[in-house]
Amino acid sequence: MSTAGAYLRLARAGWVLVREGVVAALPGDQLSGLAGFGWRAARALTRRGARNRQRTDRLADAVARLGPSYVKLGQFLATRPDVVGNEIALDLSWLQDKMETFPRAAAAAAIEGSLGRRLDDLYLSFGEPVAAASIAQVHSAEVLRDGAPVKVAVKVIRPGVRRRFNDDLESYFLAARLQERFIPASRRLRPVEVTETLAQTTKIEMDLRLEAAALSELGENTRGDPGFRVPAVDWERTGRDVLTMEWIDGIKLSDVEGLRAAGHDLKALAATLVQSFLRHTLRDGFFHADMHPGNLFVDAAGSIVAVDLGIAGRLGRKERRFLAEILYGFIARDYRRVAEVHFEAGYVPARHDVAAFAQAIRAIGEPIHGQPAETISMARLLTLLFEVTELFDMATRPELVLLQKTMVVVEGVARTLDPAFNMWRTAEPVVGKWIADNLGPRGILSDAREGAGALFSLARQAPEFVARTERLSREIDAMAEHGLRFDAATAEAIGRAEARHGRWGRVALWVIALALVWIAWKLG
């Protein structure tokens, strides 16, 4: 797409955001100059029907008008509160990913093209779409398993979505470059780099084999966990453009009245949701990063079933230890230890003072200890922590930002189920167990085993290292005795380079000489 086309797409997106009142809903009372004028003009141009609506509804209307690519952009920006701010990120997290369905025939063609088999050979029956989102839609179908029909869910990529996204991506990059050029304060957020991350994550999400792999991995991790599971994948009927999985009959976690009417224990569900998320994060280092209530169901057995694993997060061992020690440090009011963890992890540059950083952390931690436990938000605590770390030059850590965003959503869902939800009491068994297993005596033994394994691996490679060292020693001795030698091709290449260098050197000398003659003539 041409640059002119990117400008036109960007202008259209801006106009839709203005007309739907999204720009006017942003905080702009304190803006001055051109920015203030633009905000006031946006308020005046907001269509009448949008003026009395909530910001989340305005966003939903704007995204629906702009199309699937902007739904995906909104979902991605919901994972980056460091870029758009916490309030906007939360609004984006609650956007409903609902789009118009596309015809069954188009879905059938996509499936047959992806799997190389006729639809009738794959499914006993294949129904009309039951839900549609920005990238794909879901159909109900039946397969033959052990001689009996079994209902399955079939997720199919939306036709043309890759081309449409690539076109819109040009305008996203244009906006990012303009932002870096004209808004210097935004450069620390690296908008072009953020856009590159969006491009990469969406390409991954548009390959349904990778979502299937994520479901499979999370399923294996949670196989023995109480009250939580994910749908099983049918790998025979899964490809780049199609994902076939277990059909889930259940009540959405957003339907609180429906859950209550079905006799489910809402307080227990809230505790299970949060403990499951923390367990996946700390124990496995792999978590579902799009846990809004539309992606969470409760089955007849009372288990939470998470679907739509297009966005997942990973934490390394260092990041998991960082999270656990921070939570424990705030609970124990050991602010010095919380500060030291940041420095040990390399998140805060060593040039800063640990004591000064601990003082800043105390300013966050002390106010929470005077509040009732059920009013303390772990997600809010992490949000404040990241705000403070900015003052000490902590670079943006996308994996931690994604974790914090997901925790905001999970904690919000838990509080809709149980308004008096006690986050700290619920989290303590999971966090405490992880600390005991990884930071106590058992953790030391585990680290020792890992160290021994590394030493054993090094010992196995020792003969190869010795052989390489001997060869290197012989080559050095040969160079010392006979000098450095090149093969014929290398010598010829060096000769050509020297010849070019010599020619240009002579040209430079003539230019300098002529310049000196001209200067002498002018002075004379």
> Annotated catalytic sites, by residue?
290
CB atoms within 10 A of CB 162: 15
- Which spans in 230-298 are helix H? 256-261, 266-279
> Is the Cβ–Cβ distance between 231 and 279 less than 8 Å?
no
Rounded to a whole number of angstroms, the CA Rg of the chain reads: 30
In the numeric block, the tokens 């998320």 are attached to 277
- Which spans in 345-422 are helix H? 354-368, 378-391, 398-417
CA atoms within 13 A on the CB side of 415: 16
Is residue 97 classed as helix, strand or coil in its secondary structure? coil
Give dist(CA 412, CA 294) in Å, integer: 13
What beta strand segments (E) does 148-298 contain?
148-157, 228-229, 242-246, 251-252, 286-288, 296-298
Phi, psi of 454 (to 5 degrees): -65, -40
Give dist(CA 42, CA 25) in Å, integer: 9
Q: How far is CA 426 from CA 28, 243, 282, in A?
A: 39, 35, 15
Q: How far is CA 103 from CA 76, 308, 351, in A?
A: 27, 21, 60
Both structure tokens of 371: 């509040």
- 206 Cβ contact list (under 8 Å, min separation 6): 135, 157, 161, 162, 165
